[in-house]
């Protein structure tokens, strides 16, 4: 498996757009594999809109790949989403990593847009079929329960003829969805043990569907912190995750030295994970830059050539 280490953002942690672009320049030059943006429309704290961010990154970088972690197809029109992804892929010369999910059932986005998460899985299944078809077919005609298309065409289509279609979620339905149409799987809040079970289930389901997913197309993510559990924003983040999930929150973090963070990556690698979305923690721009620079210097080199 080829191990790739990317960085991720949920809420916008920087003081300004200028600080964000300085960070992007650092990771572009530092050998970071990719940058991933969480998809959230409604929130009290700032979140960048994921598709707009991908488009901006396409123009601001030359090497870095970028993706959505993950875009909610239950809330987005599939024709528009397919067109947006194809456009960004074309303008970036094939560097977008599209990743999709239904959307969190507890997200405020549903109520704010007058929609219900009930039945959203079936909507997502139809939407994903349409997105994949629009990327690869000259004309798409489709008669589904939720979408009806007649001779729909987008151009330009993705420059990457093998544009990936990563799927998020670990439910039985999400596993079947990944096996049916996905080219990769991106974990959400799964621990290494939980991720291993999902990877194994996806492999069984893809074999039953007469398909396969590349061994190095399984991903996971967590927060990292060089330092201790009382440093920076960690106490707040830990408390918030514990309140939201009701679980011991330490599964979502790697805290300590460079070798400690490498060891956590190795735990996931042993579970069949090879693509990583690591989220830096910091109380200000300087901390975020320092944490990222240490990852570039102390962690990424340990996995070069893997």
Residue 223 is predicted with a pLDDT of 95
Long-range pairs of 18-24 with CB within 8 A, sequence gap ≥ 24: 19/285, 21/60, 22/285, 22/289, 23/285, 23/288, 23/289, 23/292, 24/57, 24/60, 24/61, 24/64
Q: Nearest CA to 199 among 216, 181, 221?
A: 216
Residues of the chain with pLDDT under 70: none
Please state the pTM of the whole predicted model. 0.93
Separation CA 202–CA 193 (nearest Å) = 15
CA distances from 123 to 117, 184, 187 (A): 10, 20, 21
Structural domains present in the chain:
1-32+165-306 (3.20.20.30), 62-162 (no CATH)
Contacts of 118 (CB under 8 A, 6+ apart): none
Tell me if 235 sits within 8 A of 229, measured CB to CB.
yes
Residue 210 is predicted with a pLDDT of 96
Polymer length in residues for the chain: 306
Residue 116 is predicted with a pLDDT of 87
Residue 188 is predicted with a pLDDT of 83
DSSP letter for 273, please. Answer: -
Residue 4 is predicted with a pLDDT of 95
- Determine if the peptide bond prior to 70 is cis (ω within 30°): yes
Residue 139 is predicted with a pLDDT of 96
Tens of pLDDT, residues 265-275: 999 999 999 99
Residue 59 is predicted with a pLDDT of 97
Residue 104 is predicted with a pLDDT of 83
How many C-beta atoms lie closer than 10 Å to residue 194's C-beta? 16
Tens of pLDDT, residues 30-70: 999 999 999 999 999 999 999 999 999 999 999 999 999 99
DSSP letter for 158, please. Answer: P
Dihedral pair phi/psi, residue 115, rounded to 5°: -115, 165
């Amino acid at each position: 498996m080829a191990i790739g280490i990317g960085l991720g953002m949920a809420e916008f942690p920087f003081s300004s757009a200028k600080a964000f672009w300085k960070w992007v320049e650092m990771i572009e030059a530092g050998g970071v594999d990719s940058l991933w943006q969480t998809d959230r429309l409604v929130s009290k704290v700032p979140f960048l809109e994921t598709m707009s961010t991908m488009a901006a990154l396409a123009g601001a970088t030359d090497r870095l790949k970028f993706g959505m972690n993950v875009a909610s197809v239950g809330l987005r029109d599939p024709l528009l989403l397919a067109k947006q992804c194809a456009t960004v892929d074309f303008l970036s010369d094939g560097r977008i990593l599209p990743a999709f999910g239904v959307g969190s059932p507890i997200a405020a986005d549903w109520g704010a847009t007058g929609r219900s998460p009930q039945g959203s899985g079936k909507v997502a299944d139809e939407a994903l079929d349409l997105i994949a078809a629009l990327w690869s077919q000259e004309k798409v005609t489709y008669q589904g329960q939720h979408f009806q298309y007649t001779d729909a065409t987008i151009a330009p289509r993705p420059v990457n003829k093998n544009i990936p279609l990563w799927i998020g979620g670990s439910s039985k339905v999400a596993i079947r969805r990944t096996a049916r149409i996905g080219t990769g799987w991106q974990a959400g809040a799964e621990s290494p043990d939980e991720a291993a079970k999902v990877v194994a289930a996806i492999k069984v389901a893809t074999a039953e569907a007469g398909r396969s997913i590349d061994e190095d197309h399984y991903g996971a993510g967590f927060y990292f912190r060089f330092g201790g559990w009382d440093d920076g924003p960690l106490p707040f983040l830990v408390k918030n995750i514990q309140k939201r999930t009701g679980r011991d929150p330490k599964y979502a973090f790697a805290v300590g030295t460079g070798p400690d963070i490498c060891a956590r990556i190795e735990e996931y690698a042993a579970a069949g994970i090879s693509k990583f979305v690591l989220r830096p923690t910091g109380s200000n721009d300087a901390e975020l830059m320092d944490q990222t620079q240490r990852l570039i210097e102390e962690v990424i080199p340990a996995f070069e050539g893997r």
